[in-house]
A and B are shown apart, each in its own frame.
Chain A
Amino acid sequence: MSEHIVYPRVYVTIFLALLVGTGVTAWVAFYNFPGPLNAVVALTIAVIKATLVILYFMHVRYGPRLIALIIAAALFWMAILFALTISDYSTRAWLPVT
């Protein structure tokens, strides 16, 4: 069997990192950062946690590159969904109402 076996020590480390990340997210949520930074901080922590789950719990770090490509494709399509829709809505006010 050529499948890489991920040992529990790795899982425990990632698990603790996820718990710490959750605590930090909740704690930091009560601080008033300037401008949109609250959302940026919360989403950054969430992206880090999701990345840890994908790389280690879901074995993507140890798996074939094709899987990583598939995930990149999903993020690419979601990026198109968000970018084009948000650019439409956020520029509605630019056009004069006739």
Chain B
Amino acid sequence: MPEGLATTHEHATAHRALQHHFENMEQQREAGTLGMWVFLVTEIMFFGGMFLAYTLYRYKYPEAFAVASNHLDIRLGGINTAVLIVSSFTMAMAVFSTQVGKRRNSIIFLLMTIALGLTFLGIKTIEYYDKYRDSLIPGTLIPGHPFNPNPHELHLPPGMPVGNVELFYWIYFAMTGMHALHMIIGMGILTVITILAVRRRFSPEYYAPVEISGLYWHFVDIVWIFLFPLLYLLGRHLAGHLG
């Protein structure tokens, strides 16, 4: 077939969403998935840097980190972990529903995922507000409310440098804050996907955007799967109270 021939029998019946530089929908879907995975690699390195900072300072100041960690509310943290795991399940079900053409189910699962994401952020807001109320926001982020832990509430042993405790809260807010930002972005993405699903954009032939959004959402869940034990559970075997 001579080059430059614009229409062939295949192209005349090509799917609406098939871009011209791909042979078929399957190749396009695989390429899109690969692109999202490469982006997730950069995200792994991004969060990896913060996990490294946590690792180094935890081993430099183990007692201060354990004491500070014990003041986090393990019930709220545990509930949030369960919330995100359920949301990963509903996201996987949304992808499945799209793959088998069950549009209404996919919309319901997408909405459930968004609702669970909002629940997570709501619980996070409660936790952050508790930190603000207890003057545990590090540095001078809140003008007029410097970091000032109550030694009795936090069970600080005498002589513990407050700066080391504050360092834990720097890392706590940096990591959970960055994670929450990723959740907000994820919910924005899922809102767009839900609207497109309502508008009948997706089908068993064209579900790549739903799957790719799912990859992002599962990644954010995986980050929290590591954050929860490292931030909330590290000192429980020493003191054992619920925060």
Contact = CB atoms under 8 A, between A and B. Distances in A.
B215 interface: yes
B149 interface: no
Contacts, number: 125
A70 B89 contact: no
Interface residues of B, number: 53
Chain B contact surface mostly: helix
Interface stretch (B49-57, B136-144, B152-160): B49-57
Contacts of A22: 78, 81-82, 85, 228
Interface in A1-50: 1-3, 5-8, 11-12, 14-15, 18-19, 22, 25-26, 29-33, 38-39, 42-43, 45-46, 49-50
Interface string B77-107: 0100110011011011100100110000000
Contact of B52 (A45, A53, A81): A81
B234 A39 contact: yes
A66 B211 CA distance: 17
B237 interface: yes
* Interface size classification for chain A: 35 or more
Contacts of A18: 85, 88
A3 B52 CA distance: 37
Contacts of B78: 22, 26
A70 B71 CA distance: 38
B229 A25 contact: yes
A57 B88 contact: yes
B219 to A, nearest CB: 8
Contact of A57 (B30, B99, B218): B218
B45 A29 contact: no
Nearest to A17: B85
Nearest to B77: A26
Contacts of A25: 228-229, 233
A15 B85 contact: yes
Contacts of B219: 58
Given A25-B229, A29-B236, A85-B52, A8 B34 contact: no
Interface of A: 1-3, 5-8, 11-12, 14-15, 18-19, 22, 25-26, 29-33, 38-39, 42-43, 45-46, 49-50, 53-54, 56-59, 63-64, 66-67, 70-71, 73-75, 77-78, 81-82, 85-86, 89-90
12 contacts: A1-B25, A5-B96, A30-B236, A32-B237, A50-B225, A58-B214, A58-B218, A70-B37, A73-B41, A74-B44, A77-B41, A81-B45
